[in-house]
Amino acid sequence: MTNPSLLILPGDGIGPEVMAEVRKIIAWFGAKRGLNFDLSEDLVGGCAYDRHGTPLHDDTMAKAQEVDAVLLGAVGGPAYDKLDFSVKPERGLLRLRKEMDLYANLRPAQCFDALADFSSLKKDVVAGLDIMIVRELTSGVYFGEPRGIFKEGNERVGINTQRYTESEIARVARSAFELARKRGNKVCSMEKANVMESGILWRDVVQEVHDAEYADVELSHMYADAGAMQLTRWPKQFDVIVTDNLFGDLLSDLAAMLTGSLGMLPSASLGAPMENGRPKALYEPVHGSAPDIAGTGKANPCACILSFAMALRYSFDQGDEAARLEAAVNQVLASGVRTADLMQKDGGTPATTTQMGDAVIAALEASL
Ligand code: IPM
Ligand code: MG
């Protein structure tokens, strides 16, 4: 049997540093758990632009379509801020999402016990928090046409279009309901049906899919602005939240910060099943390229490590090994090892990116 294939795209900023730690973890699973991957590596984002004049080379795009899963670090940085919109690092990531048709973006917001004090909210509001935001990722205002900056009379007008078809809404709703069945069996759908027609359709279709196929799952609807408010007021009322591309972008950053640090949160972007039954998939940390700390050893590799855990679970059917890795991270945090983003002001010496990776490996060793 051939090994499953994994394309690694470290990207820019802290991407390569955190990915180096993930590579150590992947090697550990090969050596100690017999889980071997056919690994390849390529460029995405600013580094791809520097090399090829495009943030995602066609060859890389083709490779991403062939592999069983893609693991991405982060893209972007100030060096690329002035580039034309069409070749900005982010366009590389958006092209991957769109052409692989990764319509369901899973963003867990989980509060690690050891980190409940790091949230800006009171401890009892966030302790034990475990919610999953399912963000539609390939449509909506991110991709709708018409779009652009046009001349209208003697001024410019900027246009983006929010557009959703029924099938686009239905498929991401199904992803949310399926996930809910494996968790708390509750879905809250968020839109702005009070002001947007696309929101009215969203609400209707989610309800229809529910009534026809998932009547056993508890479904509620909320306006996205009220949802943001409820997320900060009492986030534990939620289990799975399903929402569109733009609201999902905002709400997932909000939810991430509830847990104390963006440096801890992974994500999975999943598409339709391939011939081998695995979903098309890209895994990446929720955090960005953090150019301000790149190269300083301050980056927290946990979000990227946990993204690999999601790959084990959702692409490679290794839920037990994913749980082993998640438990190892949890244990390292509980033992007090912290990267700089997780240090209280009076907190002693932070672990470097490499030391954090090594600590996770030690915890994995201890789990055998
Ligand atoms: C995210 C990011 C991206 C987005 C950017 C980098 C294009 O904010 O993954 O949430 O807006 O989707
Ligand atoms: Mg975002």
Q: Which residue minimizes the CA distance to atom 4 of ligand 1?
A: 249
CATH 3.40.718.10 domain position(s) in the chain: 1-111+262-368, 130-258
Q: Reply yes or no on whether 249 is catalytic.
A: yes
| 130-258: CATH architecture | 3-Layer(aba) Sandwich (3.40)
Ligand 2 centroid distance, CA of 77 (Å): 15
pLDDT at residue 260, rounded to an integer: 77
Which ligand has an atom closest to residue 246 CA?
A: 1
pLDDT at residue 114, rounded to an integer: 84
Which ligand 1 atom sits closest to the C-alpha of 93? 7
Q: Which residue minimizes the CA distance to atom 12 of ligand 1?
A: 249
Substitution candidate for ligand 1 out of 56, 93, 265 with most atoms within 8 A of CB: 93
Q: Which residue minimizes the CA distance to atom 2 of ligand 1?
A: 249
Which residue ranges of the chain lie beneath pLDDT 50? Answer: none
Considering 49, 142, 164, 314, which one is annotated as catalytic?
142
The domain defined by 1-111+262-368 carries CATH number 3.30.70.20: no
- What is the reported pTM? 0.94
pLDDT at residue 100, rounded to an integer: 96
Which ligand 1 atom sits closest to the C-alpha of 94? 7
Which ligand 1 atom sits closest to the C-alpha of 75? 6
pLDDT at residue 118, rounded to an integer: 82
Q: Which residue minimizes the CA distance to atom 5 of ligand 1?
A: 90
Question: Amino acid identity, residue 62?
Answer: A
Q: Reply yes or no on whether 142 is catalytic.
A: yes
Which ligand 1 atom sits closest to the C-alpha of 105? 9
Ligand 2 centroid distance, CA of 274 (Å): 27
Q: Which residue minimizes the CA distance to atom 7 of ligand 1?
A: 90
Q: Which residue minimizes the CA distance to atom 9 of ligand 1?
A: 286
Ligand 2 centroid distance, CA of 321 (Å): 28
pLDDT at residue 361, rounded to an integer: 98
Ligand 1 centroid distance, CA of 44 (Å): 14
Ligand 1 contacts (CB < 6 A) are 90, 93-94, 249
Q: Reply yes or no on whether 151 is catalytic.
A: no
pLDDT at residue 113, rounded to an integer: 83
Ligand 2 centroid distance, CA of 250 (Å): 6
Which ligand has an atom closest to residue 74 CA?
A: 1
Ligand 2 centroid distance, CA of 254 (Å): 10
